[in-house]
């Protein structure tokens, strides 16, 4: 048994009122979420998410999507300072990408791992300090919920019903109890929440 450093694992995701992280059109259908991604509450929430995190754990789709967007934000002097803060953190931090198909790392300071998310988290918790952040990678978040390895959930609830698409909280997850430690409501009705796992 390897010893743990006590590092915590957090996950961030935006969901519709019906609990979906994308719409009926598939993974690219973010019509019910995008309008709320740049509000004041959403941007403050984004800053809250990465502060204290030292490792980003991503699925392949997110890693490739983020690569096409965030590095340019990090360089954009006209971008919102909160967006730039997150972008610079993401570019500079240690990144671990879970993939069965990638053969080389798509970013600097990135390693690709072909292993179950729970095993990767167990390994990451043996070294270093600071949060391990799973950022919007639903497949990874689902795996860690199934293994009861998440300590904190950053949720952004968007006030729309998508009516189709993938849900985050599938039937069959182990039961767990959470404490609301932060809540903020935006002008459009979006709600940013932070839940900590009660163990």
What are the pLDDT digits (tens) for 135-153? 999 999 999 999 999 999 9
Distance from chain centroid for Cα 198: 20
Q: What is the pLDDT of residue 165?
A: 96
Please identify every stretch of the chain with a pLDDT value under 50, giving residue numbers as ranges: 1-2
Pairing, β 131-135 against β 53-59: parallel
Q: What is the pLDDT of residue 65?
A: 86
Residue located via tokens 């954009």: 76
Between CA 88 and CA 108 the distance in angstroms is 13
Task: Give this prediction's pTM.
Answer: 0.93
Q: What is the pLDDT of residue 121?
A: 95
Between CA 106 and CA 126 the distance in angstroms is 25
Q: What is the pLDDT of residue 151?
A: 97
Q: What is the pLDDT of residue 3?
A: 58
* 123: Cβ contacts below 8 Å, ≥ 6 apart: 2
Between CA 53 and CA 187 the distance in angstroms is 28
């Amino acid at each position: 048994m390897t010893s743990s450093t006590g590092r915590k694992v957090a996950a961030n995701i935006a969901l519709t009122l019906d609990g979906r992280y994308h719409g009926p059109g598939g993974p690219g259908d973010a019509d019910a979420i995008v309008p709320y991604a740049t509000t004041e509450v959403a941007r403050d929430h984004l800053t809250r998410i990465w502060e204290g995190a030292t490792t980003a754990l991503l699925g392949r789709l997110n890693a490739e999507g983020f690569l096409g967007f965030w590095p340019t934000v990090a360089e954009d002097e006209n971008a919102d300072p909160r967006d730039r803060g997150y972008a610079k953190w993401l570019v500079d931090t240690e990144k671990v990408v879970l993939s069965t198909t990638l053969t080389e790392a798509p970013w600097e300071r990135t390693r690709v791992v072909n292993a179950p998310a729970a095993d990767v988290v167990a390994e990451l918790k043996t070294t270093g300090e600071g949060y391990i952040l799973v950022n919007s990678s639903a497949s990874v978040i689902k795996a860690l919920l199934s293994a009861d390895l998440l300590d904190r959930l950053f949720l952004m609830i968007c006030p729309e019903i998508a009516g189709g698409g993938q849900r985050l909280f599938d039937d069959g997850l182990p039961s767990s109890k959470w404490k609301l430690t932060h809540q903020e409501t935006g002008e459009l009705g979006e709600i940013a929440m932070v839940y900590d796992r009660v163990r």
